[in-house]
Amino acid sequence: MRKRVVAPAVLAVGFLAFTGTIQGAELKVMGDSPLGPALSKVADLYQREMQTQVELVLAPSPVVKQKIDAGETADLVIVQPDFVDELTKAGKVGAGDRPMIGRVGIGLGARSDSPPRDISTPEKLKQTLLSADTLSFNKVKSGNHFATVLERLGIAETLKPKIVRTSPIGIFEPVLKGTGNDIAAGTIPLIATTPGIKFLGPLPGDLQDYLTYTAVPLTSTQRREEAENFIRFLTSSKTKDIFAANGVN
């Protein structure tokens, strides 16, 4: 069986959507981008064990919701709970159980050829950020949290000329095009799996925050039983190690 992957494309509205399509897909799953590395491996395992082919459509949670609001169809969705609440109000998903799939933390990344940096304590994090040429982070939930971290460290105003706010995937462009002294803050799975980027570490201590994810079938699905089976698979012991190895706990 062949797996066809459509290359990522940056759309005009400023997000990057990745679609991994397995030919003859029987189940369509829309999910948040940080879950991509883990979900692709879980989907492969599900296909092998259950003989059900899966199509993944990945984009930031706000974009997933926009796509569904605009009429794009899928069998189930895996996004942050706030967006599930909004989809429920719109009648796109039903009320009821919303199993938590996992959570991802926030960390820093730099170009892979740059020197190591220690961010293991708030003070070391502060000094690392102050020494950066540019600091990029996104305009959605994880980036908004990181902005509060800068405030708590007392360096938000000092760093303001160096800050670049981007789309969730766009955080890496200033780093890859920089001098090697540029830093991106974002979700740990995306940092750890982006070519040319090395993971410096998670935000230390109580500066850390997590994005949580839940999975629910769409009311429009014609494959509700299969969607519910896949959700149970996501929360099974078989997938725990796969999620953990890809930054989801």
Domain residues of the chain, as ranges? Answer: 3-102+211-245, 105-207
Residue 110 is predicted with a pLDDT of 97
- Per-residue pLDDT of 87-128, as tens digits, reads 999 999 988 778 999 999 999 999 999 999 999 999 999 999
Question: How would you write 34-84 as a 3-class SS string?
Answer: HHHHHHHHHHHHHHHHHCCCEEEEECCHHHHHHHHHCCCCCCEEEECHHHH
Residue 31 is predicted with a pLDDT of 95
Distance CA(200)–CA(2), nearest Å, equals 36
Residue 11 is predicted with a pLDDT of 30
* Fold of the domain built from segment(s) 3-102+211-245: D-Maltodextrin-Binding Protein; domain 2 (3.40.190)
- Per-residue pLDDT of 29-52, as tens digits, reads 999 999 999 999 999 999 999 999
Residue 19 is predicted with a pLDDT of 39
Structure tokens at 33: 């981008």
Distance CA(90)–CA(171), nearest Å, equals 31
Residue 4 is predicted with a pLDDT of 37
Claim: this prediction has a pTM higher than 0.95:
no
* Fold of the domain built from segment(s) 105-207: D-Maltodextrin-Binding Protein; domain 2 (3.40.190)
Q: Find the helix packing angle between 61-69 and 81-89, rounded to 10°.
A: 10
Residue 168 is predicted with a pLDDT of 83
Please report where in the chains the tokens 């769409």 appear, as a residue.
218
Q: How far is CA 191 from the centre of its chain?
A: 10
Residue 23 is predicted with a pLDDT of 43
Distance CA(249)–CA(240), nearest Å, equals 8
Residue 95 is predicted with a pLDDT of 81
Distance CA(43)–CA(58), nearest Å, equals 13
Is the fold of 3-102+211-245 the same as that of 105-207?
Answer: yes
Q: Which of 82, 74, 3, 120 is nearest to 220 (CA)?
A: 74
Inter-residue contact 25 to 234 (CB < 8 Å): no
Question: Position 120: which residue type?
Answer: S
Distance CA(201)–CA(207), nearest Å, equals 13
pLDDT in tens, the chain (249 residues): 333 333 333 332 333 333 343 344 589 999 999 999 999 999 999 999 999 999 999 998 889 999 999 999 999 999 999 999 999 999 999 887 789 999 999 999 999 999 999 999 999 999 999 999 999 999 999 999 999 999 999 999 999 999 999 988 899 999 999 988 999 999 999 999 999 999 999 999 999 999 999 999 999 999 999 999 999 999 999 899 999 999 898
